[in-house]
Structure 1
Amino acid sequence: MRRYSRITGTGSYLPPRRLTNADLAAELAARGVETSDEWIVERTGIRARHFAAPDVTSSDLGLEAARHAIEAADCRPQDIDLIIVATSTPDMVFPSTACILQAKLGIHGCPAFDVQAVCSGFVYALTLADSMIQTGLANRALVVGAEVFSRILDFSDRTTCVLFGDGAGAVVLEASDRPGILASDLHADGKHVGILCVPGNVSGGKVIGDPLLKMDGQAVFRLAVGVLESAARAVLEKAGRTDADIDLLIPHQANLRIMQSTARKLKLPGDKLFVTVDQQGNTSAASIPLALDAAVRGGQAKPGDTLLLEGVGGGFTWGAVLLDL
C-alpha cells in the first residue's frame, strides 16, 4: 500500500510586541528616516507587524508554534520522529535551530535539521518531510517556519525595514493511506543572489561584509509574479487538478500586490486569497505556516479543502505545494 502524508495539526505564534505603521514611522523619525502609514500601505498592503524582544530567538518562537500544532494533532512531543525547521535567522551558526527546538520540546533521538531557502523555506521543508514520510523514513514530522527578521533589518533603509516582522508557524505531518500532500514543485536560480540577500558572515570572531538585509524591490517583484504562477501551474498539472479545484490560495505573505497578481492569473476570486500580510508583514519562512494556521483556526480552510501554498524568496528560490486538508 502506498504511503502518503497529511497535515493533522497546525500552530502559530507571534511575539507580543505589535507595531503599527504609525508606531514604526515614529521610531524611524527619531532616527531621521521618513515614512508614513499611507506610503507603506500603498506599496505593500502592510499595516502592522510583530517584533520579538531582544532575548527571544527563532527557537523560542518555534517552540510555542510547535506546541500548538502538536496539541492540534492530538499527539505528544515524544510521538514526533522528524523535525525540520525553515529559518534564515537561526539561533546560532550551529547547531541547527531544529536541534535546539528538539531539546526544548524534550524529544530525543529523531533526526532534526534546518532548511535555508529564505521565504520559500517552509515549502521546501514541507516537501522534504512529505518525501521522508512517503519513503518510510518518518511517520510523524514537525515542520516549522520561524524567523526573527527584525535582527537583520537596516532601519536607515525605509524601503526594506518596513516590510518584515517576526513569528513562527508549524504543522504536524503524519503518514496516511489517503493523499494529503498532492504535489510539490521546487526551484532555485542562484544567478539572482544579489537582488535579495544579507551579504555578511562571521570570520575570526568578526562580522565580514554587511550583516543587514539588502533588496532590489523592483527586481524581486518582477521575478516573483512570473515564477509563482509557473509553480502553481506545475503542481496543478502534477496533481491532475485545475484552477477551479483550488479552495484557498495561501501564498508567502510578502506584498499584497504580488499576491493579488497571482490570484488573478489563476482566475481566483478575492475570497479565495488568504491574506495576513496586512497585520504581520513579511515573516519570511514563517509566513505560510502562520497564515495556514490562521486560516484553519478561523474556519476559512476546512477539512477536505484543496489548498495551494506557494513561496518565493532570496536565492532566488521558489516553489509550491498543493494539498488536501
Structure 2
Amino acid sequence: MNIKITGSGSYIPTEIVSNIDFAKHVFLNDDGTPFPHPNDVVAQKFLEITGIQERRYVTSDLNTSDIATIAAKKAIEDAQIDPETIDYIIFAHNFGNVKNGAIQADTLPSLATRVKFDLRIKNPKCVAYDMLFGCPGWIEGVIQAKAFIQSGMAKKCLVIGAETLSRVVDLHDRDSMIYSDGAGATIIEATKEEGGVLAHESASFTYDEAYYLFFGNSFNKTHDPDVRYIKMHGRKIYEFALSNVPKAMAACLNESGIAIDEVKKVLIHQANEKMDEAIIHRFYKLYKKTPPDGVMPMSIHKLGNSSVATVPTLYDLLTKGKLEGHELKKGDVIIFASVGAGMNINAIVYRM
C-alpha cells in the first residue's frame, strides 16, 4: 500500500494588488516614528529581497472557509471520488475566518466543520478538524493523513491549506506587503500505484524561537491597542530558516533512500525569494552540489506569501501545467518543505 495525492485543487483570489498600490501607505517604524525612506524606495528594496511584484487578496464577500471549499471541490473532482467516502478533513490555517472589516477571528465552528457543511457531506464518520501549525500546516496535515491511513483509521483524507492574511496585516508595517490570500487542497489516499510519500520530517523549535512570529499592535500608536496584527522578527526568521530547513530536508531525503540527483523539484514554502534561494543552495551544499536550473519553481512573484496555502497551491499549479517552464511526470521525485510560526519545520519526500 502506498499513500499518494490523488487529486488537487486551488483558489487564486481575483483581486490583484501590485507594489505600486502601496504608494500611499504611511509606513512607520515599530516605535511609531516615520519611516525614513519614501515609498518608491521601500517598494524597490522590497522587490529585490522578496521577489514579490504583486499579490492576491480575496473579495470582501469571501472568507477563508469559502475559498477552502472552492479548492476542496476542485480536489474532489480531480480525484474523482465521492465526498461521502472521505474519512478526515484536515484544515490547516492560522487565523480562522476574519470577515471583511471585522476585528475578531471566527473559529466557531471550526473551519473544517464549515467546509464539510459546505460540501454537504452527510457521513458523521467523516471527522473534520483544524490544524494550527503556522505556514507548514498543510505539509503537517499530509503527514497526519498518512499516519491515519497507515494505521487503518482512514482510506481517504482531504487536506486543505487556506488563509486570508490581507485581513490581519498592519498597513503601517512594511511586512504587510509580503502577505496574500489563497487556498489549496489535496485528496490523500491509499493506493496500489507506485510512489507516494517516501519519508517525512517534522520539528518544533520553541525554546528561543516561539515568538519569532506573533500577534502585536499596529505601528500606528493612535490605533486601538486591543486590535492585533501579524508581526514578525524577519532577520531572526531568515537566520533560523537558513540554519534549520536545509538540515530537515536532508534528514528527510536521507531517510527516503533517494539520491539527491533524483530530485526533480523542490516545492518550498513561498515566503521570500531571497530566503528560499538561500535555503535551496544551503541544502544542495550539504551534498557538495549546486541546485540544478529550474529545480525550485516559484509562485511568490505574482501570488505573494499566502502562508499555509503556498505549498498546496504551488503543487496544484505545477501538476496542472500552469507554471511556465515547469512540469512533473509520473515517477518524478519531489520534496515539499516549509518553515513558519512556532517555529515549525517540516519536509516530505514524494514520488509522483
TM-score of the pair, normalised by structure 1: 0.92
CA contact under 8 A between 2:195 and 2:331: conserved in structure 1? no
Look up the SS of the partner of 2:294 in the other structure.
Answer: helix
Cα drift, residue 195 of structure 1: 1.4
Letter in 2 for 1:276: S
Cα drift, residue 35 of structure 1: 2.9
Aligned to 1:317: 344
Partners of 2:243 and 2:27 lie apart in 1 by 38
TM alignment of 1:166-177, pairs within 5 A: 166-177=181-192
Cα drift, residue 134 of structure 1: 1.1
Letter in 2 for 1:28: H
Partners of 1:35 and 1:74 lie apart in 2 by 48
Look up the SS of the partner of 1:247 in the other structure.
Answer: strand
Partners of 1:20 and 1:319 lie apart in 2 by 31
* Bigger Cα Rg: 2
Q: Which runs of 5+ in 1 are unaligned?
A: 201-206
Look up the SS of the partner of 1:5 in the other structure.
Answer: strand
User: 1:269 pairs with 292, 297, 305, which one?
Assistant: 292
Relative distance call for 1:254 and 1:295 in structure 2 (3 A) is same
Aligned to 1:203: none
Letter in 1 for 2:55: R
Aligned to 1:308: 335
Percent identical pairs in the alignment equals 30
Letter in 1 for 2:199: A
1:249 matched to 2:266:
yes
TM alignment of 1:1-325, pairs within 5 A: 3-23=1-21, 25-28=22-25, 34-36=38-40, 37-91=43-97, 92-108=106-122, 109=124, 110-158=126-174, 160-177=175-192, 178-191=194-207, 192-199=209-216, 211-265=228-282, 266=284, 267-298=290-321, 300-325=327-352
Cα drift, residue 302 of structure 1: 2.4
| Greater mean deviation of Cα atoms: 186-195 or 97-106 | 186-195
Greater helix share, structure number: 1
Cα drift, residue 93 of structure 1: 2.9
Partners of 1:302 and 1:89 lie apart in 2 by 35
Letter in 1 for 2:115: L
Relative distance call for 1:270 and 1:263 in structure 2 (3 A) is farther
Cα drift, residue 198 of structure 1: 1.6
Partners of 1:220 and 1:100 lie apart in 2 by 33
- The root-mean-square deviation of aligned C-alpha atoms, in Å, is 2.0
CA contact under 8 A between 1:243 and 1:268: conserved in structure 2? no
Runs of 4+ residues deviating >3 angstroms: 29-34, 207-210
Relative distance call for 1:139 and 1:273 in structure 2 (3 A) is same
Partners of 2:230 and 2:259 lie apart in 1 by 37
Cα drift, residue 43 of structure 1: 1.5
Cα drift, residue 149 of structure 1: 0.6
